């Protein structure tokens, strides 16, 4: 009991120390933007299709469920507001983060983990190349840059998905859908989503590179690290989401 407690406490400390090291390496990494661009492509551009597809479906489901619920109170005209706020504040950032952990986080972990298992990272150190700067920091930065952009694309596609179902299928008036939305959504709501997606980007990318960098250098170790990335990233995303929501509602 005491042992496992100190073990998990030690893990938290390790992640925090790793974060500090990583931040120190981020400055020099930004001086070589080509590496970061490569990682933005890997994490962002290659996740785009799955993000758009999921955004469309989540938006369509919101349109359907929202219509069904609101129609009971005879206020279908609020469908645009309901779907948009749901997407902007919660579903957009959270679902994007979960997909990001599954699609990009696992790729980062297994890539770095395999480098560790095949001693590539050690070889770099032998050649006086700091793997933190050359390998880890660009991947972290790429993930942090890509995540808010992916969430924004998810939101826009989701809103049009909700419109597709709500207006075209269910017959809510198009002008009402948009004018009610534009009158009720505030810039603050959009900002909340952007702040959340940035925070989730940091969490998912950090955990992914941490697990990869500190993996047990065996085939089994890389597999375990990849699994842990998805599990821990997802749980942390949902936990931090609750805390951020509470913080935003207080303001």
Q: From the CA atom positions of the chain, what is the Rg in Å?
A: 21
Q: Which stretch binds another protein (CB under 8 A): 5-13, 59-67, 93-101, 186-194?
A: 186-194
- CA 203, CA 25: separation in Å to the nearest integer? 17
Which run of H or E residues covers position 89?
Answer: none
Query: How near is the Cβ of 9 to another protein at its closest, in Å?
Result: 38
Nearer to another protein, 11 or 46 (CB): 46
Longest dimension (CA), the chain: 70
Cα dist. 10→14, 22, 91 in Å? 6, 18, 33
Query: How near is the Cβ of 164 to another protein at its closest, in Å?
Result: 12
Binding mask 140-179 for another protein (x = CB under 8 A): -----xx-xxx-xx-xx------x---------xxxx-xx
Task: Spell out a b/e string for 125-136, using b for 16 or more CB atoms within 10 Å of the CB, else e.
Answer: eeeeeebbbbbb
Nearer to another protein, 80 or 113 (CB): 80
Binding site for another protein (CB under 8 A): 37-38, 40-41, 44-45, 48, 73-78, 84, 88, 145-146, 148-150, 152-153, 155-156, 163, 173-176, 178-183, 185-187, 189-190, 193-194
């Amino acid at each position: 009991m005491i042992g496992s407690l100190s073990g998990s406490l030690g893990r938290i400390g390790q992640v925090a120390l790793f974060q500090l090291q990583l931040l120190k390496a981020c400055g020099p990494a930004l001086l070589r933007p080509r590496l970061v661009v490569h990682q933005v492509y890997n994490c962002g551009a290659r996740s785009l299709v799955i993000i758009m597809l999921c955004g469309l479906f989540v938006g369509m489901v919101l349109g359907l469920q929202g219509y069904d619920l609101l129609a009971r109170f005879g206020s279908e005209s609020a469908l645009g507001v309901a779907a948009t706020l749901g997407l902007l504040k919660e579903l957009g950032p959270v679902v994007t983060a979960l997909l990001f952990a599954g699609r990009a986080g696992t790729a980062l972990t297994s890539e770095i983990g395999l480098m560790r298992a095949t001693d590539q990272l050690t070889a770099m150190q032998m050649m006086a190349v700091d793997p933190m700067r050359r390998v880890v920091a660009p991947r972290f930065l790429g993930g942090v840059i890509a995540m808010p952009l992916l969430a924004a694309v998810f939101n826009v596609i989701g809103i049009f998905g909700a419109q597709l179902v709500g207006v075209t299928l269910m017959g809510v008036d198009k002008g009402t859908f948009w004018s009610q939305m534009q009158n009720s959504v505030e810039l603050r709501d959009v900002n909340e989503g952007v702040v959340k997606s940035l925070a989730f980007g940091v969490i998912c990318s950090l955990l992914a590179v941490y697990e990869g960098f500190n993996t047990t250098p065996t085939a089994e170790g890389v597999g375990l690290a990849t699994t842990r990335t998805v599990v821990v990233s997802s749980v942390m995303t949902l936990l931090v989401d609750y805390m951020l929501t509470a913080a935003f509602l207080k303001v």
